[in-house]
Structure 1
Amino acid sequence: MLVLNNVEVIYDDVILVLRGLSLSVPEHKIVALLGSNGAGKSTTLKAVSGLLPSERGEVTDGSIVFKDQHITRMDAPARVKHGMSLVMEGRHVFEHLTIAENLVAGAYTRSGKESAADLDMVYEFFPKLADMRARVAGYLSGGEQQMLAIGRALMSRPQLLMLDEPSLGLAPLLVQEIFGYVKRLNAETGLTVLVIEQNARRALEIADHGYIMEQGRIVLEGPAADLRENPDVKEFYLGLGDEGGRKSFRDVKHYKRRKRWL
Protein backbone atom coordinates (compact mmCIF):
# COMPACT_ATOMS: atom_id res chain seq x y z
CA MET A 1 0.00 0.00 0.00
CA LEU A 2 2.82 2.41 0.87
CA VAL A 3 6.37 2.41 -0.49
CA LEU A 4 9.17 4.82 0.36
CA ASN A 5 12.12 4.48 -1.99
CA ASN A 6 15.46 6.12 -1.09
CA VAL A 7 13.75 9.12 0.51
CA GLU A 8 15.95 12.01 1.58
CA VAL A 9 14.58 14.86 3.72
CA ILE A 10 16.31 18.16 4.43
CA TYR A 11 15.20 20.92 6.82
CA ASP A 12 16.06 24.60 6.22
CA ASP A 13 18.03 23.59 3.10
CA VAL A 14 20.94 22.32 5.21
CA ILE A 15 19.91 19.78 7.88
CA LEU A 16 19.83 16.26 6.44
CA VAL A 17 17.47 14.07 8.51
CA LEU A 18 16.45 11.14 6.30
CA ARG A 19 19.34 9.60 4.37
CA GLY A 20 18.01 7.36 1.62
CA LEU A 21 15.26 5.71 3.66
CA SER A 22 13.33 2.83 2.08
CA LEU A 23 10.45 0.86 3.56
CA SER A 24 7.13 -0.65 2.53
CA VAL A 25 3.80 -1.17 4.28
CA PRO A 26 1.74 -4.08 2.89
CA GLU A 27 -2.02 -3.76 2.69
CA HIS A 28 -3.99 -4.98 5.77
CA LYS A 29 -0.81 -5.31 7.87
CA ILE A 30 0.61 -3.52 10.91
CA VAL A 31 4.16 -2.23 10.44
CA ALA A 32 6.23 -0.82 13.32
CA LEU A 33 9.00 1.72 12.77
CA LEU A 34 11.24 1.74 15.84
CA GLY A 35 14.14 3.86 16.94
CA SER A 36 15.45 6.19 19.63
CA ASN A 37 14.89 9.95 19.87
CA GLY A 38 16.31 11.78 16.87
CA ALA A 39 16.38 8.74 14.61
CA GLY A 40 14.01 10.40 12.13
CA LYS A 41 10.80 8.49 12.85
CA SER A 42 8.47 11.48 13.12
CA THR A 43 10.09 13.08 10.07
CA THR A 44 9.26 9.89 8.14
CA LEU A 45 5.57 10.25 9.04
CA LYS A 46 5.58 13.94 8.15
CA ALA A 47 7.10 13.11 4.78
CA VAL A 48 4.38 10.50 4.15
CA SER A 49 1.52 12.70 5.36
CA GLY A 50 2.67 15.87 3.57
CA LEU A 51 3.36 17.98 6.66
CA LEU A 52 7.03 18.76 6.01
CA PRO A 53 6.45 22.19 4.37
CA SER A 54 4.89 23.52 7.60
CA GLU A 55 8.25 22.91 9.32
CA ARG A 56 10.48 24.10 6.46
CA GLY A 57 11.27 20.55 5.48
CA GLU A 58 11.37 19.04 2.01
CA VAL A 59 11.73 15.67 0.32
CA THR A 60 14.79 16.33 -1.83
CA ASP A 61 15.32 12.86 -3.28
CA GLY A 62 13.51 9.55 -3.67
CA SER A 63 9.81 8.82 -4.03
CA ILE A 64 6.71 8.08 -1.94
CA VAL A 65 4.09 5.85 -3.56
CA PHE A 66 0.66 5.27 -2.01
CA LYS A 67 -1.77 2.85 -3.65
CA ASP A 68 0.33 2.86 -6.84
CA GLN A 69 0.24 6.66 -7.11
CA HIS A 70 3.24 8.94 -6.62
CA ILE A 71 2.34 11.37 -3.83
CA THR A 72 5.77 12.88 -3.15
CA ARG A 73 4.57 16.38 -4.15
CA MET A 74 0.91 15.98 -3.18
CA ASP A 75 -0.32 18.37 -0.45
CA ALA A 76 -1.56 17.11 2.92
CA PRO A 77 -5.35 17.58 2.43
CA ALA A 78 -5.21 15.65 -0.85
CA ARG A 79 -3.43 12.79 0.89
CA VAL A 80 -6.22 12.59 3.48
CA LYS A 81 -8.80 12.41 0.69
CA HIS A 82 -6.66 9.77 -0.99
CA GLY A 83 -6.99 7.53 2.07
CA MET A 84 -4.38 8.20 4.74
CA SER A 85 -4.73 9.67 8.22
CA LEU A 86 -2.19 10.64 10.89
CA VAL A 87 -2.51 10.66 14.68
CA MET A 88 0.23 13.07 15.70
CA GLU A 89 2.50 12.74 18.70
CA GLY A 90 0.90 14.36 21.75
CA ARG A 91 -2.66 13.67 20.50
CA HIS A 92 -3.58 17.33 19.69
CA VAL A 93 -7.31 17.05 20.29
CA PHE A 94 -9.42 20.22 20.11
CA GLU A 95 -9.55 20.83 23.85
CA HIS A 96 -12.41 23.37 23.80
CA LEU A 97 -14.71 21.05 21.80
CA THR A 98 -16.68 18.06 23.06
CA ILE A 99 -15.81 14.49 22.14
CA ALA A 100 -18.63 14.41 19.60
CA GLU A 101 -17.53 17.72 18.05
CA ASN A 102 -13.93 16.50 17.80
CA LEU A 103 -15.09 13.40 15.94
CA VAL A 104 -17.29 15.37 13.56
CA ALA A 105 -14.31 17.63 12.81
CA GLY A 106 -12.41 14.57 11.62
CA ALA A 107 -15.09 13.84 9.01
CA TYR A 108 -14.74 17.05 7.03
CA THR A 109 -13.94 15.10 3.85
CA ARG A 110 -17.15 13.05 4.05
CA SER A 111 -20.87 13.68 3.64
CA GLY A 112 -23.22 14.00 6.60
CA LYS A 113 -24.85 10.62 6.03
CA GLU A 114 -21.47 8.87 5.74
CA SER A 115 -20.08 10.61 8.81
CA ALA A 116 -23.07 9.52 10.91
CA ALA A 117 -22.26 5.88 10.11
CA ASP A 118 -18.58 6.52 10.86
CA LEU A 119 -19.52 8.05 14.21
CA ASP A 120 -21.42 4.91 15.16
CA MET A 121 -18.40 2.81 14.15
CA VAL A 122 -16.04 4.86 16.33
CA TYR A 123 -18.39 4.67 19.32
CA GLU A 124 -18.61 0.90 18.84
CA PHE A 125 -14.84 0.53 18.95
CA PHE A 126 -14.42 3.03 21.80
CA PRO A 127 -17.39 2.64 24.20
CA LYS A 128 -15.77 5.07 26.66
CA LEU A 129 -16.08 7.84 24.09
CA ALA A 130 -19.75 7.03 23.54
CA ASP A 131 -20.46 7.30 27.26
CA MET A 132 -18.70 10.70 27.47
CA ARG A 133 -19.62 12.16 24.07
CA ALA A 134 -20.79 15.47 25.55
CA ARG A 135 -17.67 15.96 27.71
CA VAL A 136 -15.18 18.68 26.75
CA ALA A 137 -12.00 17.05 25.39
CA GLY A 138 -9.66 19.18 27.50
CA TYR A 139 -10.89 17.42 30.65
CA LEU A 140 -10.16 13.90 29.40
CA SER A 141 -7.28 11.77 30.69
CA GLY A 142 -4.28 11.09 28.47
CA GLY A 143 -5.59 7.65 27.52
CA GLU A 144 -9.05 9.00 26.71
CA GLN A 145 -7.53 11.75 24.57
CA GLN A 146 -5.50 9.14 22.68
CA MET A 147 -8.68 7.14 22.00
CA LEU A 148 -10.32 10.35 20.80
CA ALA A 149 -7.38 11.20 18.52
CA ILE A 150 -7.52 7.74 16.95
CA GLY A 151 -11.31 7.94 16.66
CA ARG A 152 -11.08 11.34 14.97
CA ALA A 153 -8.55 9.94 12.48
CA LEU A 154 -10.91 7.05 11.70
CA MET A 155 -13.70 9.49 10.82
CA SER A 156 -12.06 10.12 7.44
CA ARG A 157 -12.30 6.37 6.71
CA PRO A 158 -8.56 5.96 6.00
CA GLN A 159 -7.05 2.92 4.37
CA LEU A 160 -3.73 3.72 6.05
CA LEU A 161 -3.65 4.87 9.67
CA MET A 162 -0.36 6.33 10.92
CA LEU A 163 0.33 6.60 14.65
CA ASP A 164 3.16 8.73 16.02
CA GLU A 165 4.21 7.56 19.51
CA PRO A 166 0.71 6.51 20.70
CA SER A 167 2.14 5.32 24.05
CA LEU A 168 3.72 8.69 24.89
CA GLY A 169 2.91 9.80 28.43
CA LEU A 170 0.55 6.91 29.17
CA ALA A 171 0.61 4.42 32.05
CA PRO A 172 1.53 0.82 31.08
CA LEU A 173 -2.05 -0.48 31.41
CA LEU A 174 -3.35 2.31 29.16
CA VAL A 175 -0.60 1.58 26.62
CA GLN A 176 -1.71 -2.04 26.54
CA GLU A 177 -5.33 -0.93 26.07
CA ILE A 178 -4.51 1.47 23.23
CA PHE A 179 -2.43 -1.11 21.36
CA GLY A 180 -5.24 -3.61 21.89
CA TYR A 181 -7.62 -1.25 20.11
CA VAL A 182 -5.15 -0.86 17.22
CA LYS A 183 -4.80 -4.63 16.84
CA ARG A 184 -8.58 -5.06 16.91
CA LEU A 185 -9.09 -2.37 14.26
CA ASN A 186 -6.63 -4.14 12.00
CA ALA A 187 -8.14 -7.58 12.60
CA GLU A 188 -11.80 -6.58 12.23
CA THR A 189 -11.67 -3.90 9.53
CA GLY A 190 -8.48 -4.76 7.61
CA LEU A 191 -7.11 -1.29 8.35
CA THR A 192 -3.44 -0.91 7.37
CA VAL A 193 -1.36 0.63 10.17
CA LEU A 194 2.08 2.23 10.34
CA VAL A 195 3.04 2.85 13.97
CA ILE A 196 6.05 4.86 15.13
CA GLU A 197 7.17 3.89 18.61
CA GLN A 198 9.93 3.98 21.20
CA ASN A 199 8.10 1.30 23.20
CA ALA A 200 9.51 -1.43 20.99
CA ARG A 201 8.15 -4.28 23.06
CA ARG A 202 4.50 -3.21 22.76
CA ALA A 203 4.82 -2.29 19.09
CA LEU A 204 6.40 -5.62 18.13
CA GLU A 205 3.68 -7.50 20.01
CA ILE A 206 0.98 -6.24 17.63
CA ALA A 207 3.00 -5.68 14.44
CA ASP A 208 3.40 -8.07 11.51
CA HIS A 209 6.67 -6.51 10.32
CA GLY A 210 9.18 -4.15 11.88
CA TYR A 211 11.91 -1.71 10.89
CA ILE A 212 14.71 -0.43 13.12
CA MET A 213 15.83 3.10 12.30
CA GLU A 214 18.96 4.97 13.34
CA GLN A 215 20.32 8.31 12.15
CA GLY A 216 17.86 8.61 9.28
CA ARG A 217 18.42 5.12 7.88
CA ILE A 218 16.86 1.68 8.18
CA VAL A 219 19.46 -0.55 9.82
CA LEU A 220 17.41 -3.71 10.35
CA GLU A 221 14.05 -5.11 9.24
CA GLY A 222 12.11 -8.33 9.38
CA PRO A 223 9.00 -10.08 10.68
CA ALA A 224 8.07 -8.73 14.11
CA ALA A 225 8.42 -12.18 15.68
CA ASP A 226 12.01 -12.43 14.40
CA LEU A 227 12.92 -8.97 15.65
CA ARG A 228 11.60 -9.82 19.11
CA GLU A 229 14.11 -12.69 19.24
CA ASN A 230 17.02 -10.81 17.67
CA PRO A 231 19.77 -10.47 20.34
CA ASP A 232 20.70 -6.93 19.26
CA VAL A 233 17.09 -5.77 19.35
CA LYS A 234 16.67 -7.38 22.76
CA GLU A 235 19.77 -5.62 24.04
CA PHE A 236 19.19 -2.13 22.72
CA TYR A 237 15.42 -1.81 22.35
CA LEU A 238 13.80 -4.34 24.66
CA GLY A 239 16.20 -4.13 27.60
CA LEU A 240 16.69 -7.90 27.62
CA GLY A 241 20.42 -8.43 27.39
CA ASP A 242 21.75 -11.99 27.52
CA GLU A 243 24.05 -11.24 30.43
CA GLY A 244 22.95 -9.95 33.79
CA GLY A 245 24.84 -7.58 36.02
CA ARG A 246 27.26 -4.81 35.15
CA LYS A 247 29.17 -5.07 31.88
CA SER A 248 32.86 -4.37 31.47
CA PHE A 249 34.17 -1.57 29.27
CA ARG A 250 35.32 -4.14 26.72
CA ASP A 251 31.78 -5.55 26.58
CA VAL A 252 30.34 -2.07 26.14
CA LYS A 253 32.66 -1.46 23.18
CA HIS A 254 31.56 -4.78 21.72
CA TYR A 255 27.89 -3.85 22.11
CA LYS A 256 28.49 -0.48 20.46
CA ARG A 257 29.98 -2.23 17.46
CA ARG A 258 26.95 -4.51 17.29
CA LYS A 259 24.56 -1.60 17.60
CA ARG A 260 25.99 -0.11 14.45
CA TRP A 261 24.72 -3.29 12.77
CA LEU A 262 28.13 -4.01 11.25
Structure 2
Amino acid sequence: MSTEPVPAGTVLAGGAPAGAGPALLNLNNVEVIYDDVILVLRGLSLQVPEGKIVALLGSNGAGKSTTLKAVSGLLPSEHGEVTDGTIIFAGEDITKVDAADRVTRGMSLCMEGRHVFEHLTISENLVAGAYTQKNVGADLDEVYSFFPKLGDMRNRIAGYLSGGEQQMLAIGRALMARPKLLMLDEPSLGLAPLLVQEIFGYIKRLNEERGLTVLVIEQNARRALEVADHGYIMEQGRIVLEGPAAELRENPDVKEFYLGLGEEGGRKSYRDVKHYKRRKRWL
Protein backbone atom coordinates (compact mmCIF):
# COMPACT_ATOMS: atom_id res chain seq x y z
CA MET A 1 0.00 0.00 0.00
CA SER A 2 1.33 3.42 -0.92
CA THR A 3 2.37 5.72 1.92
CA GLU A 4 2.51 8.83 -0.23
CA PRO A 5 0.55 11.80 1.21
CA VAL A 6 -2.86 12.37 -0.33
CA PRO A 7 -3.19 15.84 -1.87
CA ALA A 8 -6.24 17.97 -1.10
CA GLY A 9 -8.96 17.64 -3.68
CA THR A 10 -8.32 13.94 -4.21
CA VAL A 11 -11.31 11.62 -4.06
CA LEU A 12 -10.49 8.78 -1.67
CA ALA A 13 -11.94 5.36 -2.34
CA GLY A 14 -13.43 5.08 1.15
CA GLY A 15 -14.32 8.75 1.51
CA ALA A 16 -11.97 9.15 4.50
CA PRO A 17 -10.45 12.58 5.16
CA ALA A 18 -6.68 12.17 4.91
CA GLY A 19 -5.08 12.46 8.35
CA ALA A 20 -8.43 12.63 10.17
CA GLY A 21 -9.03 11.15 13.60
CA PRO A 22 -11.51 8.39 14.42
CA ALA A 23 -14.79 8.71 12.57
CA LEU A 24 -17.99 9.25 14.54
CA LEU A 25 -20.00 8.81 11.33
CA ASN A 26 -18.95 6.68 8.38
CA LEU A 27 -20.94 6.19 5.16
CA ASN A 28 -19.60 3.34 3.03
CA ASN A 29 -20.74 3.12 -0.62
CA VAL A 30 -24.31 4.12 0.26
CA GLU A 31 -26.96 3.85 -2.44
CA VAL A 32 -30.43 5.39 -2.00
CA ILE A 33 -33.45 4.75 -4.19
CA TYR A 34 -36.86 6.49 -4.04
CA ASP A 35 -40.07 4.71 -5.05
CA ASP A 36 -38.04 1.63 -6.04
CA VAL A 37 -36.85 3.29 -9.26
CA ILE A 38 -35.21 6.72 -8.70
CA LEU A 39 -31.52 6.34 -7.88
CA VAL A 40 -30.32 9.40 -5.95
CA LEU A 41 -27.16 8.40 -4.06
CA ARG A 42 -24.73 6.36 -6.14
CA GLY A 43 -22.17 4.67 -3.92
CA LEU A 44 -21.57 7.66 -1.64
CA SER A 45 -18.78 7.40 0.94
CA LEU A 46 -17.75 10.00 3.50
CA GLN A 47 -16.54 10.31 7.08
CA VAL A 48 -17.22 12.77 9.88
CA PRO A 49 -14.37 12.63 12.41
CA GLU A 50 -15.30 13.09 16.05
CA GLY A 51 -15.01 16.68 17.25
CA LYS A 52 -14.79 18.17 13.75
CA ILE A 53 -17.02 20.22 11.45
CA VAL A 54 -17.55 18.65 8.03
CA ALA A 55 -19.24 20.54 5.19
CA LEU A 56 -21.11 18.73 2.42
CA LEU A 57 -21.49 21.06 -0.54
CA GLY A 58 -23.18 20.88 -3.91
CA SER A 59 -25.78 22.41 -6.17
CA ASN A 60 -29.54 21.80 -6.05
CA GLY A 61 -30.38 18.17 -6.76
CA ALA A 62 -26.87 16.87 -5.96
CA GLY A 63 -28.24 14.63 -3.19
CA LYS A 64 -27.16 16.58 -0.09
CA SER A 65 -30.50 16.50 1.74
CA THR A 66 -31.01 12.86 0.79
CA THR A 67 -27.68 12.11 2.44
CA LEU A 68 -28.89 13.67 5.70
CA LYS A 69 -32.17 11.79 5.51
CA ALA A 70 -30.29 8.54 4.98
CA VAL A 71 -28.12 9.26 8.03
CA SER A 72 -31.02 10.36 10.25
CA GLY A 73 -33.36 7.53 9.21
CA LEU A 74 -36.04 9.69 7.61
CA LEU A 75 -36.03 8.10 4.15
CA PRO A 76 -39.01 5.74 4.75
CA SER A 77 -41.31 8.75 5.28
CA GLU A 78 -40.56 9.78 1.68
CA HIS A 79 -40.68 6.30 0.13
CA GLY A 80 -36.90 6.10 0.02
CA GLU A 81 -34.51 3.44 1.27
CA VAL A 82 -30.84 2.61 1.54
CA THR A 83 -30.46 -0.28 -0.90
CA ASP A 84 -26.71 -0.79 -0.63
CA GLY A 85 -23.79 0.17 1.59
CA THR A 86 -23.62 0.80 5.33
CA ILE A 87 -24.00 3.70 7.76
CA ILE A 88 -21.79 3.37 10.83
CA PHE A 89 -22.32 5.66 13.84
CA ALA A 90 -20.13 5.50 16.94
CA GLY A 91 -18.81 2.14 15.76
CA GLU A 92 -22.23 0.53 15.24
CA ASP A 93 -24.08 -0.28 12.02
CA ILE A 94 -27.29 1.78 12.07
CA THR A 95 -28.27 1.27 8.43
CA LYS A 96 -31.55 -0.42 9.39
CA VAL A 97 -32.15 1.39 12.70
CA ASP A 98 -35.27 3.58 12.87
CA ALA A 99 -35.11 7.36 13.21
CA ALA A 100 -36.20 7.55 16.88
CA ASP A 101 -33.51 5.10 17.93
CA ARG A 102 -30.88 7.14 16.10
CA VAL A 103 -31.86 10.18 18.17
CA THR A 104 -31.39 8.23 21.40
CA ARG A 105 -27.96 7.14 20.15
CA GLY A 106 -26.89 10.76 19.79
CA MET A 107 -28.01 12.21 16.44
CA SER A 108 -29.88 15.51 16.05
CA LEU A 109 -31.06 17.02 12.78
CA CYS A 110 -32.02 20.61 12.00
CA MET A 111 -34.10 20.26 8.86
CA GLU A 112 -34.08 22.67 5.95
CA GLY A 113 -36.52 25.51 6.57
CA ARG A 114 -36.20 25.30 10.38
CA HIS A 115 -39.67 23.75 10.98
CA VAL A 116 -40.27 25.21 14.44
CA PHE A 117 -43.67 24.61 16.07
CA GLU A 118 -45.14 27.99 15.19
CA HIS A 119 -48.02 27.95 17.70
CA LEU A 120 -45.83 27.01 20.66
CA THR A 121 -43.57 29.28 22.70
CA ILE A 122 -39.79 29.19 22.49
CA SER A 123 -39.68 27.31 25.79
CA GLU A 124 -42.27 24.76 24.63
CA ASN A 125 -40.35 24.21 21.38
CA LEU A 126 -37.18 23.48 23.32
CA VAL A 127 -38.91 21.10 25.71
CA ALA A 128 -40.32 19.22 22.69
CA GLY A 129 -36.74 18.58 21.57
CA ALA A 130 -35.86 16.97 24.90
CA TYR A 131 -38.27 14.05 24.78
CA THR A 132 -35.38 11.60 25.13
CA GLN A 133 -33.95 13.35 28.20
CA LYS A 134 -34.91 13.58 31.87
CA ASN A 135 -33.18 16.66 33.31
CA VAL A 136 -34.91 19.16 31.03
CA GLY A 137 -34.43 22.16 33.30
CA ALA A 138 -30.65 21.98 33.19
CA ASP A 139 -30.70 21.53 29.42
CA LEU A 140 -32.96 24.57 29.02
CA ASP A 141 -30.60 26.69 31.10
CA GLU A 142 -27.68 25.54 28.96
CA VAL A 143 -29.44 26.48 25.71
CA TYR A 144 -30.46 29.87 27.11
CA SER A 145 -26.88 30.53 28.22
CA PHE A 146 -25.65 29.81 24.71
CA PHE A 147 -28.48 31.73 23.00
CA PRO A 148 -29.27 34.60 25.44
CA LYS A 149 -31.75 36.08 22.97
CA LEU A 150 -33.89 32.93 23.24
CA GLY A 151 -33.80 33.19 27.01
CA ASP A 152 -35.01 36.78 26.89
CA MET A 153 -37.92 35.78 24.64
CA ARG A 154 -38.68 32.33 26.10
CA ASN A 155 -42.43 32.99 26.35
CA ARG A 156 -42.78 34.42 22.84
CA ILE A 157 -44.74 32.44 20.23
CA ALA A 158 -42.27 30.90 17.78
CA GLY A 159 -44.29 31.88 14.72
CA TYR A 160 -43.57 35.56 15.41
CA LEU A 161 -39.79 35.15 15.45
CA SER A 162 -37.55 36.36 12.65
CA GLY A 163 -35.85 33.87 10.37
CA GLY A 164 -32.58 34.13 12.26
CA GLU A 165 -34.30 33.70 15.62
CA GLN A 166 -36.15 30.65 14.32
CA GLN A 167 -32.85 29.15 13.16
CA MET A 168 -31.38 29.70 16.63
CA LEU A 169 -34.45 28.01 18.08
CA ALA A 170 -34.13 25.06 15.69
CA ILE A 171 -30.49 24.59 16.71
CA GLY A 172 -31.36 24.99 20.38
CA ARG A 173 -34.14 22.40 20.07
CA ALA A 174 -31.67 19.97 18.48
CA LEU A 175 -29.22 20.57 21.33
CA MET A 176 -31.89 19.60 23.88
CA ALA A 177 -31.40 15.96 22.83
CA ARG A 178 -27.73 16.18 23.92
CA PRO A 179 -26.39 15.04 20.54
CA LYS A 180 -23.00 13.60 19.75
CA LEU A 181 -23.57 14.62 16.12
CA LEU A 182 -25.46 17.75 15.06
CA MET A 183 -26.64 17.77 11.43
CA LEU A 184 -27.72 21.01 9.79
CA ASP A 185 -29.53 21.18 6.45
CA GLU A 186 -29.06 24.57 4.77
CA PRO A 187 -28.90 26.70 7.96
CA SER A 188 -28.33 29.84 5.85
CA LEU A 189 -31.51 29.38 3.80
CA GLY A 190 -33.52 32.59 3.52
CA LEU A 191 -31.31 34.58 5.90
CA ALA A 192 -29.65 37.95 5.33
CA PRO A 193 -25.83 37.88 5.09
CA LEU A 194 -25.26 39.26 8.60
CA LEU A 195 -27.59 36.64 10.08
CA VAL A 196 -25.82 33.90 8.10
CA GLN A 197 -22.54 35.06 9.61
CA GLU A 198 -24.10 35.01 13.10
CA ILE A 199 -25.54 31.49 12.69
CA PHE A 200 -22.25 30.06 11.43
CA GLY A 201 -20.52 31.80 14.32
CA TYR A 202 -22.75 29.83 16.70
CA ILE A 203 -21.94 26.61 14.85
CA LYS A 204 -18.21 27.26 15.21
CA ARG A 205 -18.60 28.06 18.91
CA LEU A 206 -20.54 24.85 19.54
CA ASN A 207 -17.67 22.92 18.03
CA GLU A 208 -14.85 24.82 19.74
CA GLU A 209 -16.39 25.30 23.19
CA ARG A 210 -18.34 22.06 23.53
CA GLY A 211 -16.50 19.72 21.21
CA LEU A 212 -19.69 19.02 19.27
CA THR A 213 -19.29 17.12 16.00
CA VAL A 214 -21.14 18.83 13.13
CA LEU A 215 -22.16 17.81 9.62
CA VAL A 216 -23.46 20.83 7.74
CA ILE A 217 -25.17 20.72 4.35
CA GLU A 218 -24.86 24.03 2.50
CA GLN A 219 -25.10 25.83 -0.81
CA ASN A 220 -23.28 28.80 0.70
CA ALA A 221 -19.90 27.19 0.11
CA ARG A 222 -17.91 30.25 1.11
CA ARG A 223 -19.41 30.47 4.60
CA ALA A 224 -19.41 26.71 5.21
CA LEU A 225 -15.74 26.31 4.26
CA GLU A 226 -14.80 29.17 6.59
CA VAL A 227 -15.95 27.22 9.66
CA ALA A 228 -15.43 23.60 8.52
CA ASP A 229 -12.36 21.45 9.08
CA HIS A 230 -13.03 19.24 6.07
CA GLY A 231 -15.24 19.47 3.01
CA TYR A 232 -16.90 17.18 0.48
CA ILE A 233 -18.42 18.26 -2.83
CA MET A 234 -21.30 16.29 -4.33
CA GLU A 235 -22.45 16.07 -7.92
CA GLN A 236 -25.23 13.76 -9.12
CA GLY A 237 -25.28 11.61 -5.98
CA ARG A 238 -21.53 11.06 -5.74
CA ILE A 239 -18.61 12.65 -3.91
CA VAL A 240 -16.46 14.21 -6.62
CA LEU A 241 -13.98 16.20 -4.55
CA GLU A 242 -12.87 16.29 -0.92
CA GLY A 243 -10.11 17.70 1.22
CA PRO A 244 -9.26 20.03 4.12
CA ALA A 245 -11.57 23.05 4.02
CA ALA A 246 -8.69 25.53 3.86
CA GLU A 247 -7.29 23.83 0.77
CA LEU A 248 -10.68 23.49 -0.92
CA ARG A 249 -11.09 27.26 -0.57
CA GLU A 250 -7.97 27.64 -2.69
CA ASN A 251 -8.89 24.99 -5.26
CA PRO A 252 -9.36 26.73 -8.66
CA ASP A 253 -12.44 24.67 -9.56
CA VAL A 254 -14.09 25.27 -6.20
CA LYS A 255 -13.33 28.98 -6.47
CA GLU A 256 -14.86 29.17 -9.92
CA PHE A 257 -17.93 26.96 -9.59
CA TYR A 258 -18.85 27.37 -5.92
CA LEU A 259 -17.27 30.58 -4.64
CA GLY A 260 -17.71 32.74 -7.75
CA LEU A 261 -14.01 33.59 -7.82
CA GLY A 262 -12.86 32.61 -11.29
CA GLU A 263 -9.36 33.54 -12.34
CA GLU A 264 -10.62 36.25 -14.70
CA GLY A 265 -13.13 37.63 -12.17
CA GLY A 266 -16.51 39.13 -12.94
CA ARG A 267 -19.64 37.48 -14.31
CA LYS A 268 -19.21 34.69 -16.82
CA SER A 269 -20.73 34.75 -20.28
CA TYR A 270 -23.50 32.37 -21.31
CA ARG A 271 -20.92 30.52 -23.41
CA ASP A 272 -18.92 29.80 -20.25
CA VAL A 273 -22.03 28.60 -18.43
CA LYS A 274 -22.90 26.22 -21.29
CA HIS A 275 -19.52 24.54 -20.88
CA TYR A 276 -19.88 24.27 -17.10
CA LYS A 277 -19.75 20.46 -16.98
CA ARG A 278 -17.17 20.11 -19.71
CA ARG A 279 -14.76 22.39 -17.86
CA LYS A 280 -15.07 20.69 -14.48
CA ARG A 281 -11.94 18.63 -14.08
CA TRP A 282 -13.66 16.11 -11.85
CA LEU A 283 -16.43 15.15 -14.32
TM range (shorter): over 0.9
Q: Describe the shift of the 1:249–1:55 C-alpha distance in structure 2 as closer, same or farther (beyond 3 A).
A: closer
| 1:224 corresponds to 2:245 | yes
Query: Where does residue 52 of structure 1 map in the other structure?
Result: 75
> Do 2:253 and 2:281's aligned partners in 1 also have CA atoms closer than 8 Å?
no
| 1:244 corresponds to 2:273 | no
Query: Where does residue 35 of structure 1 map in the other structure?
Result: 58
> Do 2:75 and 2:81's aligned partners in 1 also have CA atoms closer than 8 Å?
yes
| 1:94 corresponds to 2:114 | no
> What is the aligned counterpart of 2:91 among 68, 72, 80?
68
User: Could you list the per-position Cα deviations for residues 214-254 of structure 1 after superposition, in whole angstroms to 9, with x for gaps in the alignment?
Assistant: 00000000000000000000000000000135657876576
- Higher share of residues assigned helix: 1
User: Could you list the per-position Cα deviations for residues 72-122 of structure 1 after superposition, in whole angstroms to 9, with x for gaps in the alignment?
Assistant: 0000000000000000000000000000000001000011xx221111110
Q: 2-side partners of 1:254 and 1:89: how far apart?
A: 31
How far off its partner does 1:203 sit? 0.2
Query: Where does residue 158 of structure 2 map in the other structure?
Result: 137
Q: 2-side partners of 1:243 and 1:255: how far apart?
A: 15
Partner SS for 2:120: coil
| 1:192 corresponds to 2:210 | no
Partner SS for 1:195: strand
| 1:20 corresponds to 2:43 | yes
Q: 1-side partners of 2:266 and 2:214: how far apart?
A: 38
Q: 2-side partners of 1:45 and 1:51: how far apart?
A: 8
Q: 1-side partners of 2:202 and 2:127: how far apart?
A: 20
Code of the aligned partner of 1:123: Y
Partner SS for 1:42: helix
> What is the aligned counterpart of 1:117 among 120, 131, 138?
138
Query: Where does residue 156 of structure 1 map in the other structure?
Result: 177
Q: Which runs of 5+ in 2 are unaligned?
A: 1-23
User: Could you list the per-position Cα deviations for residues 99-148 of structure 1 after superposition, in whole angstroms to 9, with x for gaps in the alignment?
Assistant: 0000001000011xx22111111001101000000000000000000000
How far off its partner does 1:257 sit? 2.5
Q: Describe the shift of the 1:236–1:134 C-alpha distance in structure 2 as closer, same or farther (beyond 3 A).
A: same
Q: 2-side partners of 1:18 and 1:58: how far apart?
A: 10
Q: Describe the shift of the 1:186–1:247 C-alpha distance in structure 2 as closer, same or farther (beyond 3 A).
A: closer
Q: Describe the shift of the 1:97–1:258 C-alpha distance in structure 2 as closer, same or farther (beyond 3 A).
A: same
> Do 2:182 and 2:214's aligned partners in 1 also have CA atoms closer than 8 Å?
yes
Q: Which runs of 5+ in 1 are unaligned?
A: none
Query: Where does residue 223 of structure 2 map in the other structure?
Result: 202
Query: Where does residue 32 of structure 2 map in the other structure?
Result: 9
Greater shift, 117-126 or 155-164, is seen at: 117-126
Greater shift, 238-247 or 211-220, is seen at: 238-247
Query: Where does residue 192 of structure 2 map in the other structure?
Result: 171
